[in-house]
Amino acid sequence: MSTDAILTENELYADLERVLFDRETIQTRVRELGRQISEDYRGRELVLISIIKGGIVFLSDLMRAITIPHAFDLVGASSYRGGTRSTGRVIITKDAELDLRGKHILLVEDILDSGHTLNVVCELLRIQEPASLEICALLNKNRTRDFSIPLKYVGFEIPDEYVVGYGLDYKEHYRNLACIGVLKPEIYRD
């Protein structure tokens, strides 16, 4: 089983043009974010909310790096992408299940790209009148956006390139890579 996992990982690594953040670098940064969030939200009712599917790998590491009591929930959002770019159309496929009124929500997202997904999810969550609503994004793509999405916490700033690994996919693959990297262009030039 573990041998299979290692082989699969190696196979996927071969499709990367370059690694942006290796396993250790990601884990160190996630621990730092966890410490900061634990300090900032001490004494408050914190609920982490992640967006499936991409955000759940980050969520599962981040929640274990947070040392204060908290709950978590999941929201489903699908953004239709033409190739590797967002078309701006987002549909909600799953609402949060917890009662969020008066809670301090921290949205835990894998990547801020066009911002359409976070925009729609924030609108959805605000209806429940939380005490606060902030965003923690592991990656922030350096690009222009039609609207601003304020991020309270950012793991890493990245160039405007299509990245995979650590939850992020291309056609549902590469989510299980422990690192984050840029795909070889020939993979998505299909």
Active site residues: 113
Q: Is 103 in the site for ligand IMP (CB under 6 A)?
A: no
Part in contact with ligand IMP (CB under 6 A); list of ranges 4-12, 19-27, 39-47, 107-115: 107-115
Distance CA 102, CA 39 (A): 20
Sheet holding 85-94, edge to edge: 85-94, 70-82, 46-52, 104-112, 132-141, 153-158
- Got the DSSP string for 99-150? --TT-EEEEEEEEESSSHHHHHHHHHHHTT--SEEEEEEEEEE----SS---
Question: Judged by CB under 5 A, which of 54, 115, 155, 165 binds Mg ion?
Answer: 54
Q: Which of 13, 156, 162, 188 binds ligand IMP (CB under 6 A)?
A: 162
As measured in angstroms, the least distance from the Cβ of 151 to ligand IMP is 12
Q: Which residues bind Mg ion (CB under 5 A)?
A: 51, 54, 110
Q: Which residues bind ligand IMP (CB under 6 A)?
A: 54, 79, 86, 109-117, 162-164, 168
